[in-house]
Amino acid sequence: MTLDDQAIAILRGNDRGGFTIPTRGLYPYQWNWDSAFVALGFAAFDRPRAWAEVTTVLEGQWPDGMVPSILFRRDDPDYFPGPRRWGANLGPIPSTGVSQPPVLSTAVRLLAGEDDADRLDNIFDKLLAWHNWYHTARTFDGVIATVHPWETGRDNCPDWNIGLDAMEVAPDLAPYERMDNKHVDASFRPSQAQYDRYLTIIQAGQQVGWDQARLTTEGPFLMADPNINFVLLRADRDLFTLAERLGRDQTVRNKIQGWIAKGEAASDRLWNDQLGGYAARDLHSGRFSDGFTNASALCFYAGVGAPEQRARTLQNIRRIGERVQYMLPSWDPDAQDFEPQRYWCGPIWPQMNFMIAMGLREQGEAQLADRMQSDLTRLIEASGFWECFNPVTGAGCVGSDFSWTAAMWLAWLSPSWLTRVA
């Protein structure tokens, strides 16, 4: 089978009828930002199916506008923490009580062709409500905040240690049994101490009845993530384009423009001058994380940064490029805690390379963009469609037959594919 055929077979195999699971076993539900990337993959060979992925992820939207990170359409006892542990039933489908990076509007913009006006019209207000939720319930002091590392999509990055170390584990934390370590090698996965804290935040969400504004201001964890901030800023720009395309009124356009201005202004709050890069920051203490991550490199994708900030960011990317075989690791190889095979502590993530390369190319850094693209191509050719990859050895990590990796192949990497969206 060619890699194109394998990628299609993976997406078809992970299709559960209008929505796609990331991989069998480890992740048996629909994940929010996974679906945005997966839609781009389907678009290369089945456009109606691509739109179905967009529609189904929005089906789980809460009345307050939040689109949850996971939709638990039916309980799967093989996954923990599932719907009962979250106890987050404010939406039409049982779900988690946190969101994920809002890539969807950007994916929709890439997807939408001339004859998709009706489809766009059907979902525009939902996208707008979701962005609005980020700009209200999840905004703290002008910056988009995150209340749980799992909301960032970069679940176990050392970036979150500052916030996690500063919080207490709930003394009455209900006992639990992890399932993730049953599916994959424990050396890939988060530690027990971290897991206790992840579950403490979930308990705090329940205690405020999943009132998201309260969870933001009163919860035990409050950090700002360059991934969410930059993905949202980009998505706001794309939503604005969609609003223009649909001829939405001036009030809507002004609102989105206000969000864009806010996002641009907030970016400096994430600038760690000592590191010479954008970094995660604890919003209670003001402390910065001190590692350069693949999310730091998304400033190009978001279109932010003064010339000096961009130059220093590029210096960091080049420094790291000399330290690893494959670009761009999820955690700084020169920082403490670099572990090339552990979840978000080093591995390369296909969907991150895609966004980073898109931004670099748009901002005139074609050579580095080419490297992000060709490194991922080499990884998939050598190792297959893994969830993520060891940047030093190129070995595949965590889940295999992975949907977003297959999708990135079809939408972006495949040399033979003519209908690529990106």
Residues that bind ligand GLC (CB under 6 A): 22, 27, 31, 33-34, 153, 155
Report the nearest approach of ligand GLC to the CB of residue 155 (Å). 4
Name the residue nearer to ligand GLC (CB basis): 22 or 263: 22
Of the residues 34, 159, 387, 401, only one is catalytic, namely 387
Residues 6+ apart with CB under 8 A from 345: 156, 157, 158, 330, 331, 337, 338, 339
Name the residue nearer to ligand GLC (CB basis): 126 or 154: 154
Peptide bond into 173 cis (omega under 30): no
> 28-56 b/e with 16+ CB inside 10 Å = b?
bbbbbbbbbbbbbbbbbbebebbbbbbbb
Q: Tokens 């009962």 identify what position?
A: 84
- Helix segments in 81-159, DSSP class H: 83-86, 104-111, 117-136
**Segment holding 223, helix H or strand E:** strand 223-224
Name the residue nearer to ligand GLC (CB basis): 226 or 305: 226
CA dihedral 159, 348, 83, 88 (to 10 degrees): 40
Report the nearest approach of ligand GLC to the CB of residue 188 (Å). 11
Report the nearest approach of ligand GLC to the CB of residue 34 (Å). 5
Name the residue nearer to ligand GLC (CB basis): 27 or 385: 27
Is residue 155 among the annotated active site residues? Answer: yes
Q: Tokens 């990628």 identify what position?
A: 7
Name the residue nearer to ligand GLC (CB basis): 70 or 120: 70
Is residue 118 among the annotated active site residues? Answer: no
Report the nearest approach of ligand GLC to the CB of residue 68 (Å). 12
Of the residues 64, 155, 196, 337, only one is catalytic, namely 155
Kindly list the distances between the CA atom of residue 180 and the CA atoms of 26, 28, 82, 201, in Å, as whole numbers in the listed order. Answer: 6, 11, 12, 18
Report the nearest approach of ligand GLC to the CB of residue 171 (Å). 27
Cα(114)–Cα(268) distance, integer angstroms: 37
Query: Would you please indicate which residues are annotated as catalytic (active-site) residues?
Result: 155, 387
